[in-house]
Structure 1
Amino acid sequence: MNGSAAARLHRLRWLLTVLFTVLNATGLIVLAWLLVDQDREQGELRMDASLKEVTAAVSRLVQSSGDGTVVTAFIGQDQIDTSCPEFAVLPAGAGEFEPHFSRRDCAPVDRGRLYGLAEDSTASGRVIQGYVPSTEDGLVRVVTKPFLNAAGQYAGAIVAVSDPTEELDRHSAFVWWVIGGCALAVAAVGLAGHLLSGRAIRPAATALEQQEVLLAETAHDLRTPVAALRALAETAMRNPADRPDLLPRTVRLAARMGSIIDDLLVRARLAAGVETLAIQPVWLDQLVTGVVQETPSNGAQVTVTTAPSAVYADPNLVQRAVGNLLDNALRYGRQPGSPAIVHITVAGGRVTVADHGPGIDASVAEESFDRFTSGAGSSGLGLSIVRWTAQAHGGYLRVYNAEEGGAIFELSFPLAR
């Protein structure tokens, strides 16, 4: 595996962007090609329609006598003879008459090439239309229509010629507009693809971030107790006589490490969606009383005042959150050299934990809920778990200082009705 997981996700996003852009760009190019080709055909149809109007009008002016002689004298009397597109009535096949060329030059074309077109159209008996080279290194558009004499034989052809420069310039401008529009569309598609690919890989990126945070939290929170546990073990090895005193401390540290790991795993599993909240009616007063009874006080004075209070919550998460608040108060809510004094009140869906410690600085009270910070030097994980639990239930966690000193934590949950 090359590179970090974040780098691979970054490359995956660009790969998805490129694939999305290429697929849509291919569709746009095909559509653009169809539009350009259709516009070219429409332009040619317009030019051919104009030329066919000329050949139809001239064919009505061409007369044929009973002996098959073709008469073109009437053409010169019509205004079409001096209009554009220009034309020529040329003998071919069974026809023998003086050729007639309109009196206005509208397109630079070689007359010898017009004779060739007349011969081809007369020989095949069908209309010939298309581009032929001009005398100025360009193209001209022609329509060649054969006509019959009185004997029913092809006697010649009418060749109408127009200069396609204006139509070709218009088509070229249309092509450039299509190219510019496609370029803008491809750019927009690329941007949209980049945004969509970002949204597509966002769950994976979030899961990766959660994994990295979990690893960082685990390493951070276990570093201190692991170091203390090692120090106790080394002390016990050097001083066998102190082992009876060191063993209880070792057990407490191990229990603390287990609690830290449990907190991390619970939060990680819920955040990842592996587990969901088991919301149900819970008697908050009974739950808090049970947590206090199961938590060793270690000489601290803990009082509980409760009133019946039913809330909608996940009992396991609430139990852990209350236990974290109580553990925080027992550990940090004391004056130097004095046992902790903790007052817990439960009423109206709220759990209030007050201690007699140094309190918490109001300017950093909110930061005490953040990961890796606390007002008393702890890792902050316990309080962050408490706040996360409250927010997951639609409640809140607040902290403030009592007037007589000490910190007060207020944890609230939605009441069951």
Structure 2
Amino acid sequence: MTGSAADRLRRLRWVLTAVFTATNTIALVAFAWWVVLDDSRQGEAELDAQLTRVTTAVSRLVVYDRAVNFHLVNTDELDQGCPQFAILPGGAPPFQAHVSKRVCVPVDNAVLSSLATSAVRRGGVVDGYQRGTGGELVRVRAEPLLSPDREYIGAVVAVADTRPRQAAHNRLVLLVVGGCLVLVGGLGVAAHVLSGRAIRPAAAALQQQEVLLAETAHDLRTPVAALRALAETALDNPTQRADLLPRTVRLAARMGGIIDGLLVRARLAAGVEQLAIQPVWLDQLVAGVVEETPTDGAQVTVTTAPTKVNADPALLQRAIGNLLDNAMRYGRRPGEEALVHITVAGGTVTVADHGPGIDAALAEEVFDRFSSTGGSSGLGLSIVRWVAQAHGGRLAVYNADEGGAIFELSLPVIAP
């Protein structure tokens, strides 16, 4: 399968949509087919019930006393209703045939006579479909007549017009087909929505993975190139190896810090980083971070007041370390050493430097990935903001009146 992982994931969504829709469509079509067939069987059963009622009732009205007598048939309401019927000899001793007064659907007498003959010869009921004189489809039933001596003397043939029932059946078919089309469309939409929700975690994980890879490549490109340049210089100039080795170690440490930062960002974004919340003396934690961080010639001063917050110490240390590292690296003017002052009070850590400051139009973007006023990836500051938000706090940045940038990390304090 070709294409990017995102493209394959999108194709997977369409495949899931197609499979879900096809599966449900097959089941829906099978159910619709059963409904149509069942309605057809019920329609046929209704017509047969009407015909049976007529032939049975008329058979009882026929009087035979050495001759066939229809006086009871002539006075019955069946003789003027539908389905229509005819009483015919059907090959038995001939008598004057009787046809009901109302013609509901015209049928050739030869067809009726043939049905009567079949019923008499078979000695049982004959039913089925025939065509009227106008080509209409009719349902017929021929029931033989028995004399008191148990001899066949003719047959009653009833005829029912199928057009009203067929029209109702056709309406049902149209309704079922239309309903199936609507349901299939609805199933397709529902399948697309559900498949989208189903692959959403995978899409999010894939996006995070792609972002992490992009950030890793972006942040490591420059230090890797610098590390290679140092190694090549050391190979070409053995006498400079003693000077180049410390720079190589610092560069390798910086690369390790970049990787650690990327992993922390990925874990925070994925929601797998579990906060170990506990009461923390913020002033002591900041002082410890400053004491353990190499200043590389920068002047760092700290002013603190006792402040206790609920926080994850490890993540908070990383956030403070990122703020301090950012101030020492970029908070200096050309040709001057970095001056950084940290203040801790009221649950807020303020880190001020004497650098060029931050463009007001880019103050918010400085926390985004790959954004920084000093040429870095901006990843460290984005981690600081994520840590602040994870603790219910915030990170703000603005410029001091006398110059330099000021970062404020504010956390909820524990009431005394």
Scaled by the length of structure 1, what TM-score is found?
Answer: 0.91
Q: Match of 1:329?
A: 327
Alignment of 1:99-248 (within 5 A): 99-123=97-121, 126-248=124-246
Aligned to 2:24: 24
Q: 1:377 aligns with which of 361, 375, 378?
A: 375
- 4+ residue runs of structure 1 moved beyond 6 angstroms? none
Partner SS for 1:352: strand
How far is the alpha carbon of 1:20 from its aligned partner?
0.7
Aligned to 1:314: 312
Q: Distance in 1 between matches of 2:129 and 2:406?
A: 93
**How many pairs were matched up?**
415
Q: CA deviation at 1:32?
A: 0.8
Give the counterpart letter for 1:30 in structure 2. A
User: CA distance change for structure 1 residues 238 and 164 in 2, over 3 Å: closer, same or farther?
Assistant: same
Pick which of 170-179 and 348-357 moved more. 348-357
Paired position in structure 1 for 2:388: 390
Q: Is the contact between residue 371 and residue 381 of structure 1 (CA under 8 Å) also seen in structure 2?
A: yes
Give 1:77 shift.
4.4
The 2-side partners of 1:95 and 1:281 are apart by 115
Task: Check whether the contact 1:93–1:154 (CA below 8 A) recurs between aligned residues.
Answer: no
Distance 1:414 1:34, change over 3 A: farther
Q: For 2:22, give the aligned amino acid.
A: V
CA contact (8 A) 1:340 1:355 kept: yes
Supply the RMSD in Å over aligned alpha carbons. Answer: 2.4
Structure 2 gaps, min length 5: none
The Cα of 1:304 is off from its aligned counterpart by: 1.6
How far did residue 274 of structure 1 move?
5.1
SS in 1 for 2:326: helix
Contact 2:268 2:386 in 1 (8 A): no
Inter-partner Cα distance in structure 2 for 1:349 and 1:168:
83
Q: How many angstroms does 1:181 deviate by?
A: 1.0
CA distance in 1: counterparts of 2:155 and 2:268, whole angstroms:
88
Name the counterpart of 1:14. 14
Residue in 2 aligned with 1:98?
96
Counterpart secondary structure, 2:197: helix
1:54, distance to aligned residue in structure 2 (A): 3.1
Deviation of 1:296 (Å): 1.2
Question: C-alpha separation between the residues in 2 aligned to 1:2 and 1:335?
Answer: 51
Q: Greater shift after overlay, 119-128 or 336-345?
A: 119-128
Asked if the contact 1:70/1:96 (under 8 Å) is kept, the reply is: no
1:302 pairs with one of 295, 300, 303: 300
Counterpart CA distance in 1 for 2:100 and 2:42 is 27
Offset, 1:416: 4.5
**Greater shift after overlay, 318-327 or 297-306?**
297-306
Question: Structure 1 stretches of 5 or more lacking a match?
Answer: none
Aligned to 2:408, the other structure's residue is in SS state strand
SS at match of 2:142: strand
Q: Which residue identity lines up with residue 172 of structure 2 in the other structure?
A: F
Match of 1:356 in 2: 354
Counterpart AA for 1:409: F
AA paired with 2:246? P
**SS state at 1:199 partner:** helix
Shift of 1:96: 4.2
- The whole-number CA distance in structure 2 between the counterparts of 1:19 and 1:252 is 56
Q: What whole-Å deviation, never above 9, does each CA across 1:195-230 have from its counterpart, x for those lacking one?
A: 111111122222221111111111100111122222
CA distance in 2, matches of 1:316, 1:126: 97
